[in-house]
Amino acid sequence: MINLKLRLGLERFFEEGIYHDYKRARIALLTHQAALDENLRLSFELFYHYFGERLSLLFSPQHGLFSDKQANMIPSFDEREPLFGLKVKSLYGPRLSPDLEDLQEIDALFVDLVDVGCRVYTYIWTLYLLMETCEKLDKEVVILDRPNPLGNYPEGPVLESSYFSFVGLTSLPMRHGLTLGEIALLFKKRHFPRLNLRIIPLKNYSPKELYPYFQRPWILPSPNLPTFECALVYPGMVLLEGTNLSEGRGTTLPFLIFGAPFLRLKPLKELFEEAFPAKEWGLKLRPLAFEPTFDKWKGKRCFGFQIHILDPKCFNPVRFALKLLKIIKDTHEEFDFLPPPYEFEREKKPIEILLGNRALLAWLLKDQDIVLEEELNKNLELFKEENKSIRLYSSPQHLA
Protein backbone atom coordinates (compact mmCIF):
# COMPACT_ATOMS: atom_id res chain seq x y z
CA MET A 1 0.00 0.00 0.00
CA ILE A 2 1.31 3.47 -0.85
CA ASN A 3 1.47 5.62 2.28
CA LEU A 4 0.36 8.98 0.88
CA LYS A 5 1.10 12.02 2.98
CA LEU A 6 -1.59 12.54 5.59
CA ARG A 7 -3.06 16.03 5.76
CA LEU A 8 -4.88 17.07 8.90
CA GLY A 9 -8.02 19.17 8.90
CA LEU A 10 -5.93 21.94 10.48
CA GLU A 11 -3.36 21.79 7.69
CA ARG A 12 -5.94 21.71 4.92
CA PHE A 13 -7.83 24.64 6.45
CA PHE A 14 -4.87 26.95 5.93
CA GLU A 15 -3.00 25.30 3.02
CA GLU A 16 -6.07 25.19 0.80
CA GLY A 17 -7.30 28.66 1.70
CA ILE A 18 -10.49 27.45 3.42
CA TYR A 19 -9.83 30.00 6.14
CA HIS A 20 -10.79 32.75 3.65
CA ASP A 21 -14.42 31.68 4.20
CA TYR A 22 -14.08 33.23 7.67
CA LYS A 23 -12.07 36.36 6.85
CA ARG A 24 -14.73 38.61 8.39
CA ALA A 25 -15.84 36.24 11.14
CA ARG A 26 -15.32 36.60 14.85
CA ILE A 27 -14.05 33.21 16.02
CA ALA A 28 -13.22 31.10 19.07
CA LEU A 29 -11.22 27.87 19.24
CA LEU A 30 -11.50 24.81 21.49
CA THR A 31 -8.06 23.24 21.54
CA HIS A 32 -5.06 22.08 23.58
CA GLN A 33 -1.30 21.66 23.30
CA ALA A 34 -1.44 18.31 21.47
CA ALA A 35 -3.22 19.91 18.50
CA LEU A 36 -0.22 20.65 16.26
CA ASP A 37 0.56 20.69 12.57
CA GLU A 38 3.36 18.65 10.98
CA ASN A 39 5.87 21.36 11.90
CA LEU A 40 4.81 21.21 15.58
CA ARG A 41 3.08 24.56 15.42
CA LEU A 42 0.22 24.91 17.88
CA SER A 43 -3.27 25.12 16.44
CA PHE A 44 -3.96 28.35 18.28
CA GLU A 45 -0.61 29.73 17.10
CA LEU A 46 -1.69 29.24 13.49
CA PHE A 47 -5.12 30.70 14.14
CA TYR A 48 -3.59 33.76 15.75
CA HIS A 49 -1.19 34.18 12.83
CA TYR A 50 -4.01 34.12 10.26
CA PHE A 51 -6.85 35.73 12.20
CA GLY A 52 -5.13 38.03 14.68
CA GLU A 53 -7.53 39.87 16.98
CA ARG A 54 -10.54 38.18 15.37
CA LEU A 55 -9.52 35.11 17.38
CA SER A 56 -11.12 36.48 20.50
CA LEU A 57 -11.20 33.45 22.78
CA LEU A 58 -9.75 29.99 23.42
CA PHE A 59 -11.58 27.19 25.20
CA SER A 60 -9.67 24.37 26.92
CA PRO A 61 -10.89 20.82 27.72
CA GLN A 62 -10.08 18.64 30.73
CA HIS A 63 -6.41 18.85 31.78
CA GLY A 64 -6.14 22.46 30.56
CA LEU A 65 -4.72 24.12 27.48
CA PHE A 66 -1.26 22.68 28.13
CA SER A 67 -2.44 19.29 29.49
CA ASP A 68 -0.81 19.94 32.86
CA LYS A 69 -3.72 19.09 35.17
CA GLN A 70 -4.28 15.59 36.51
CA ALA A 71 -7.53 13.64 36.11
CA ASN A 72 -10.88 13.19 37.87
CA MET A 73 -12.39 16.53 38.87
CA ILE A 74 -9.08 18.42 39.12
CA PRO A 75 -10.11 21.67 37.42
CA SER A 76 -8.22 23.93 35.09
CA PHE A 77 -8.97 27.62 35.42
CA ASP A 78 -9.58 30.60 33.19
CA GLU A 79 -6.33 32.33 32.28
CA ARG A 80 -4.38 34.06 29.53
CA GLU A 81 -2.04 31.81 27.60
CA PRO A 82 1.64 32.84 27.75
CA LEU A 83 2.50 33.18 24.04
CA PHE A 84 0.04 35.78 22.75
CA GLY A 85 -1.98 36.70 25.81
CA LEU A 86 -5.18 35.16 24.45
CA LYS A 87 -8.02 34.69 26.90
CA VAL A 88 -8.61 31.01 27.80
CA LYS A 89 -11.91 29.79 29.24
CA SER A 90 -11.81 26.37 30.90
CA LEU A 91 -14.56 23.87 30.07
CA TYR A 92 -13.54 21.57 32.90
CA GLY A 93 -13.94 22.87 36.42
CA PRO A 94 -15.56 26.30 36.61
CA ARG A 95 -18.01 25.13 33.93
CA LEU A 96 -18.52 22.13 31.60
CA SER A 97 -20.35 24.09 28.88
CA PRO A 98 -19.46 27.48 27.41
CA ASP A 99 -21.14 30.43 29.09
CA LEU A 100 -23.76 31.88 26.78
CA GLU A 101 -22.29 35.38 27.04
CA ASP A 102 -18.91 34.14 25.79
CA LEU A 103 -20.49 33.03 22.52
CA GLN A 104 -22.81 35.97 21.92
CA GLU A 105 -20.19 37.91 19.91
CA ILE A 106 -18.78 34.80 18.17
CA ASP A 107 -19.74 33.82 14.59
CA ALA A 108 -17.96 30.45 14.43
CA LEU A 109 -16.44 28.14 16.99
CA PHE A 110 -13.60 25.91 15.78
CA VAL A 111 -12.60 22.63 17.40
CA ASP A 112 -9.15 21.06 17.08
CA LEU A 113 -8.59 18.34 19.67
CA VAL A 114 -6.61 15.11 19.79
CA ASP A 115 -9.02 12.39 20.89
CA VAL A 116 -7.89 8.86 21.78
CA GLY A 117 -10.87 6.87 20.51
CA CYS A 118 -12.35 5.89 23.87
CA ARG A 119 -15.87 6.67 25.13
CA VAL A 120 -14.75 7.69 28.64
CA TYR A 121 -12.13 10.17 27.42
CA THR A 122 -13.92 13.41 28.20
CA TYR A 123 -12.94 15.56 25.21
CA ILE A 124 -15.80 14.22 23.11
CA TRP A 125 -18.28 15.13 25.86
CA THR A 126 -16.89 18.66 26.03
CA LEU A 127 -17.56 18.75 22.28
CA TYR A 128 -21.08 17.41 22.87
CA LEU A 129 -21.92 20.17 25.38
CA LEU A 130 -20.35 22.81 23.15
CA MET A 131 -22.50 21.64 20.22
CA GLU A 132 -25.57 21.79 22.44
CA THR A 133 -24.83 25.40 23.39
CA CYS A 134 -24.00 26.46 19.84
CA GLU A 135 -27.25 25.01 18.50
CA LYS A 136 -29.19 27.11 21.02
CA LEU A 137 -27.37 30.26 19.92
CA ASP A 138 -27.33 29.43 16.19
CA LYS A 139 -23.51 29.50 16.07
CA GLU A 140 -21.50 27.54 13.53
CA VAL A 141 -19.21 24.74 14.76
CA VAL A 142 -16.24 23.79 12.57
CA ILE A 143 -14.33 20.57 13.30
CA LEU A 144 -10.74 20.30 12.10
CA ASP A 145 -10.54 16.54 11.87
CA ARG A 146 -7.69 14.33 13.08
CA PRO A 147 -7.00 10.57 12.98
CA ASN A 148 -8.48 8.22 15.54
CA PRO A 149 -5.17 6.83 16.89
CA LEU A 150 -6.81 3.44 17.52
CA GLY A 151 -8.24 3.10 14.01
CA ASN A 152 -11.84 2.45 13.07
CA TYR A 153 -12.26 -0.72 15.16
CA PRO A 154 -15.16 -0.42 17.62
CA GLU A 155 -15.18 -2.58 20.74
CA GLY A 156 -18.07 -2.89 23.18
CA PRO A 157 -19.82 -2.69 25.47
CA VAL A 158 -22.19 -0.06 24.12
CA LEU A 159 -23.15 2.36 26.90
CA GLU A 160 -26.67 1.94 28.31
CA SER A 161 -28.73 5.06 28.99
CA SER A 162 -29.14 4.36 32.72
CA TYR A 163 -25.40 4.96 33.11
CA PHE A 164 -25.14 8.29 31.27
CA SER A 165 -22.67 10.72 32.89
CA PHE A 166 -19.84 13.04 31.88
CA VAL A 167 -17.96 9.95 30.67
CA GLY A 168 -20.87 9.11 28.39
CA LEU A 169 -23.76 11.45 27.49
CA THR A 170 -25.08 9.29 24.65
CA SER A 171 -24.62 5.63 23.71
CA LEU A 172 -21.19 4.75 22.31
CA PRO A 173 -19.03 1.63 22.52
CA MET A 174 -16.07 1.82 24.86
CA ARG A 175 -13.73 1.96 21.84
CA HIS A 176 -15.80 3.89 19.33
CA GLY A 177 -13.69 3.73 16.14
CA LEU A 178 -14.68 7.24 14.94
CA THR A 179 -12.73 10.41 14.26
CA LEU A 180 -13.74 13.59 16.06
CA GLY A 181 -15.47 14.80 12.89
CA GLU A 182 -17.48 11.59 12.65
CA ILE A 183 -18.37 11.80 16.34
CA ALA A 184 -19.66 15.34 15.75
CA LEU A 185 -21.78 14.15 12.83
CA LEU A 186 -23.21 11.37 15.01
CA PHE A 187 -24.05 13.83 17.78
CA LYS A 188 -25.74 16.14 15.25
CA LYS A 189 -27.73 13.25 13.75
CA ARG A 190 -28.96 12.08 17.15
CA HIS A 191 -29.32 15.25 19.19
CA PHE A 192 -28.58 18.53 17.39
CA PRO A 193 -30.30 18.48 13.99
CA ARG A 194 -30.48 22.28 13.73
CA LEU A 195 -26.79 22.85 14.45
CA ASN A 196 -24.75 24.51 11.69
CA LEU A 197 -21.87 22.00 11.59
CA ARG A 198 -18.94 21.90 9.18
CA ILE A 199 -16.19 19.27 9.06
CA ILE A 200 -12.78 19.93 7.50
CA PRO A 201 -11.88 16.29 6.78
CA LEU A 202 -8.54 14.56 6.67
CA LYS A 203 -6.88 13.87 3.35
CA ASN A 204 -4.97 10.67 2.47
CA TYR A 205 -6.31 9.00 5.60
CA SER A 206 -6.39 5.23 6.03
CA PRO A 207 -8.99 4.72 8.76
CA LYS A 208 -8.00 1.14 9.53
CA GLU A 209 -4.45 2.14 10.41
CA LEU A 210 -3.21 2.81 13.93
CA TYR A 211 -1.42 6.04 14.73
CA PRO A 212 2.23 4.95 14.16
CA TYR A 213 1.40 4.25 10.51
CA PHE A 214 1.11 7.99 9.81
CA GLN A 215 4.67 8.71 10.99
CA ARG A 216 3.64 11.68 13.08
CA PRO A 217 5.14 12.27 16.53
CA TRP A 218 2.95 11.30 19.46
CA ILE A 219 2.20 14.37 21.59
CA LEU A 220 0.57 13.44 24.87
CA PRO A 221 -3.08 14.64 24.80
CA SER A 222 -3.30 14.35 28.59
CA PRO A 223 -0.71 13.86 31.34
CA ASN A 224 -1.11 10.10 31.69
CA LEU A 225 -1.02 9.13 28.01
CA PRO A 226 2.65 9.87 27.25
CA THR A 227 2.99 7.21 24.52
CA PHE A 228 0.83 5.65 21.83
CA GLU A 229 1.05 2.30 23.66
CA CYS A 230 -0.51 3.91 26.75
CA ALA A 231 -3.40 5.12 24.58
CA LEU A 232 -3.75 1.70 22.94
CA VAL A 233 -4.41 -0.07 26.25
CA TYR A 234 -6.41 2.82 27.73
CA PRO A 235 -9.96 1.79 26.61
CA GLY A 236 -9.64 -1.29 28.81
CA MET A 237 -7.20 -0.33 31.52
CA VAL A 238 -9.16 2.84 32.32
CA LEU A 239 -11.58 0.48 34.09
CA LEU A 240 -8.98 0.13 36.85
CA GLU A 241 -9.79 3.71 37.83
CA GLY A 242 -12.92 2.24 39.41
CA THR A 243 -10.92 -0.17 41.59
CA ASN A 244 -8.27 -0.12 44.32
CA LEU A 245 -5.67 -1.33 41.80
CA SER A 246 -3.14 1.21 40.62
CA GLU A 247 -3.47 1.78 36.86
CA GLY A 248 0.08 3.10 36.86
CA ARG A 249 -0.64 6.77 37.58
CA GLY A 250 2.33 8.20 39.38
CA THR A 251 4.72 6.15 37.22
CA THR A 252 6.25 6.77 33.81
CA LEU A 253 4.08 4.07 32.20
CA PRO A 254 0.46 4.79 33.18
CA PHE A 255 -2.06 2.19 32.00
CA LEU A 256 0.77 -0.05 30.75
CA ILE A 257 1.57 -1.16 34.28
CA PHE A 258 -0.86 -2.07 37.03
CA GLY A 259 -0.74 -3.54 40.51
CA ALA A 260 -1.25 -3.10 44.25
CA PRO A 261 0.63 -3.98 47.44
CA PHE A 262 -1.66 -6.97 47.99
CA LEU A 263 -1.21 -8.72 44.63
CA ARG A 264 0.46 -12.14 44.79
CA LEU A 265 2.69 -12.37 41.75
CA LYS A 266 3.50 -16.06 41.57
CA PRO A 267 -0.07 -17.44 41.35
CA LEU A 268 -1.16 -14.52 39.15
CA LYS A 269 1.69 -15.09 36.73
CA GLU A 270 0.58 -18.69 36.29
CA LEU A 271 -3.08 -17.72 35.88
CA PHE A 272 -2.26 -14.99 33.37
CA GLU A 273 -0.06 -17.27 31.28
CA GLU A 274 -2.98 -19.68 30.97
CA ALA A 275 -5.63 -16.99 30.43
CA PHE A 276 -3.74 -14.81 27.92
CA PRO A 277 -1.80 -16.90 25.39
CA ALA A 278 0.35 -14.42 23.47
CA LYS A 279 -0.64 -15.53 19.97
CA GLU A 280 -4.36 -15.12 20.64
CA TRP A 281 -4.27 -11.97 22.78
CA GLY A 282 -1.38 -10.11 21.15
CA LEU A 283 0.37 -9.33 24.44
CA LYS A 284 2.72 -10.55 27.13
CA LEU A 285 2.52 -9.72 30.84
CA ARG A 286 5.77 -9.19 32.72
CA PRO A 287 5.79 -9.24 36.55
CA LEU A 288 7.31 -6.24 38.31
CA ALA A 289 7.25 -4.02 41.40
CA PHE A 290 6.77 -0.25 41.33
CA GLU A 291 6.11 2.67 43.65
CA PRO A 292 3.66 5.38 42.53
CA THR A 293 4.74 8.94 43.28
CA PHE A 294 1.11 10.12 43.39
CA ASP A 295 -2.47 8.81 43.16
CA LYS A 296 -3.45 5.35 44.45
CA TRP A 297 -0.86 3.65 46.68
CA LYS A 298 1.39 6.72 46.64
CA GLY A 299 4.74 5.84 48.21
CA LYS A 300 3.78 2.17 48.66
CA ARG A 301 5.50 -0.72 46.93
CA CYS A 302 3.08 -2.31 44.48
CA PHE A 303 3.40 -5.73 42.89
CA GLY A 304 1.98 -6.06 39.43
CA PHE A 305 2.66 -6.45 35.74
CA GLN A 306 3.62 -4.50 32.65
CA ILE A 307 1.64 -5.04 29.46
CA HIS A 308 3.87 -5.59 26.43
CA ILE A 309 1.86 -5.35 23.20
CA LEU A 310 3.07 -7.85 20.60
CA ASP A 311 0.34 -7.41 17.96
CA PRO A 312 -1.56 -4.10 18.25
CA LYS A 313 -4.28 -5.04 15.75
CA CYS A 314 -4.93 -8.36 17.50
CA PHE A 315 -5.14 -6.72 20.92
CA ASN A 316 -8.65 -6.06 22.31
CA PRO A 317 -8.16 -3.78 25.33
CA VAL A 318 -11.65 -3.95 26.83
CA ARG A 319 -11.96 -7.73 26.63
CA PHE A 320 -8.46 -8.07 28.09
CA ALA A 321 -9.04 -5.67 31.01
CA LEU A 322 -12.36 -7.26 31.98
CA LYS A 323 -10.89 -10.74 32.08
CA LEU A 324 -7.91 -9.40 34.01
CA LEU A 325 -10.13 -7.75 36.61
CA LYS A 326 -12.25 -10.87 36.99
CA ILE A 327 -9.19 -13.02 37.68
CA ILE A 328 -7.85 -10.60 40.29
CA LYS A 329 -11.26 -10.16 41.95
CA ASP A 330 -11.75 -13.92 42.20
CA THR A 331 -8.32 -14.57 43.72
CA HIS A 332 -7.71 -11.57 46.01
CA GLU A 333 -10.15 -10.74 48.78
CA GLU A 334 -8.36 -7.40 49.26
CA PHE A 335 -9.53 -6.26 45.82
CA ASP A 336 -12.39 -3.76 45.87
CA PHE A 337 -14.38 -1.31 43.77
CA LEU A 338 -14.11 2.35 44.72
CA PRO A 339 -17.03 4.52 45.87
CA PRO A 340 -18.08 7.77 44.18
CA PRO A 341 -17.48 10.58 43.36
CA TYR A 342 -15.97 10.13 39.94
CA GLU A 343 -16.10 12.65 37.06
CA PHE A 344 -18.93 14.63 38.69
CA GLU A 345 -21.06 11.51 39.35
CA ARG A 346 -21.80 11.31 43.08
CA GLU A 347 -24.21 8.38 43.33
CA LYS A 348 -23.14 5.54 41.06
CA LYS A 349 -19.83 3.79 41.58
CA PRO A 350 -17.03 4.74 39.19
CA ILE A 351 -16.99 1.21 37.72
CA GLU A 352 -20.70 1.54 36.90
CA ILE A 353 -20.37 4.63 34.72
CA LEU A 354 -17.05 3.47 33.28
CA LEU A 355 -18.41 0.11 32.13
CA GLY A 356 -22.00 1.23 31.59
CA ASN A 357 -23.51 -2.21 30.96
CA ARG A 358 -25.86 -3.94 33.38
CA ALA A 359 -25.00 -7.53 32.42
CA LEU A 360 -21.24 -6.98 32.53
CA LEU A 361 -21.51 -5.20 35.87
CA ALA A 362 -23.50 -8.12 37.31
CA TRP A 363 -20.82 -10.50 36.02
CA LEU A 364 -18.01 -8.40 37.46
CA LEU A 365 -19.57 -7.29 40.75
CA LYS A 366 -21.91 -10.19 41.58
CA ASP A 367 -20.39 -13.15 39.71
CA GLN A 368 -23.44 -13.75 37.51
CA ASP A 369 -22.70 -16.00 34.53
CA ILE A 370 -22.41 -14.50 31.05
CA VAL A 371 -20.55 -15.20 27.83
CA LEU A 372 -18.11 -12.29 27.84
CA GLU A 373 -17.65 -12.00 24.09
CA GLU A 374 -21.42 -12.04 23.47
CA GLU A 375 -22.03 -9.21 25.93
CA LEU A 376 -19.19 -7.14 24.53
CA ASN A 377 -20.58 -7.49 21.00
CA LYS A 378 -24.23 -6.88 21.90
CA ASN A 379 -25.61 -3.85 20.00
CA LEU A 380 -22.25 -3.34 18.29
CA GLU A 381 -23.65 -4.25 14.86
CA LEU A 382 -26.50 -1.77 15.37
CA PHE A 383 -23.95 0.91 16.17
CA LYS A 384 -21.97 0.09 13.01
CA GLU A 385 -25.13 0.19 10.90
CA GLU A 386 -26.13 3.57 12.32
CA ASN A 387 -22.69 4.95 11.55
CA LYS A 388 -22.73 4.15 7.85
CA SER A 389 -24.38 7.48 7.14
CA ILE A 390 -21.79 9.54 9.03
CA ARG A 391 -18.55 7.76 8.06
CA LEU A 392 -16.26 10.22 6.29
CA TYR A 393 -13.46 7.93 5.19
CA SER A 394 -13.28 4.89 2.96
CA SER A 395 -10.55 2.29 3.10
CA PRO A 396 -7.70 2.11 2.28
CA GLN A 397 -7.33 5.78 1.38
CA HIS A 398 -9.52 8.86 1.64
CA LEU A 399 -8.69 11.42 -1.03
CA ALA A 400 -10.69 14.52 -0.14
What ranges do the domains of the chain cover? Answer: 9-219+383-387, 228-356
- Name the CA dihedral angle for 93, 94, 97, 98, rounded to a multiple of 10 degrees: -130
Q: What pLDDT, on a 0 to 100 scale, did the predictor assign at position 20? A: 98
pLDDT at 399: 43
Report pLDDT for 1.
46
User: What are the beta bridge partners of residue 264?
Assistant: none
Q: CA 382, 189, 193 angle in degrees (round to 5)? A: 155
Distance (Å, whole) CA 383 – CA 397 = 23
| pLDDT (mean) for 304-316 | 97
Evaluate the omega torsion of the peptide bond into residue 157 and state whether it is cis, within 30 degrees of 0: yes
364: nearest Cα among 397, 301, 319, 312: 319
Tens digit of each residue's pLDDT (9 = 90 or more) over 1-39: 455 899 999 999 999 999 999 999 999 999 999 999 999
Q: Give the pLDDT of residue 2.
A: 53
Instruction: Please check whether residue 165 is in contact with residue 353, taking contact to mean a CB–CB distance below 8 angstroms.
Output: yes
pLDDT digits (tens, 9 = 90+) for 183-216: 999 999 999 999 999 999 999 999 999 999 999 9
* 74: CB partners within 8 A, 6+ apart: 93
CATH number, domain 228-356: 3.90.1150.140
Q: Render pLDDT for 88-147 as a digit per residue (tens, 0 to 9).
A: 999 998 899 999 999 998 999 999 999 999 999 999 999 999 999 999 999 999 999 999
Q: Does domain 9-219+383-387 have CATH number 3.40.50.12170?
A: yes
Average of per-residue pLDDT across 318-341 = 98
Distance (Å, whole) CA 116 – CA 47? 23
pLDDT tens digits for 62-82?
999 999 999 989 999 999 999
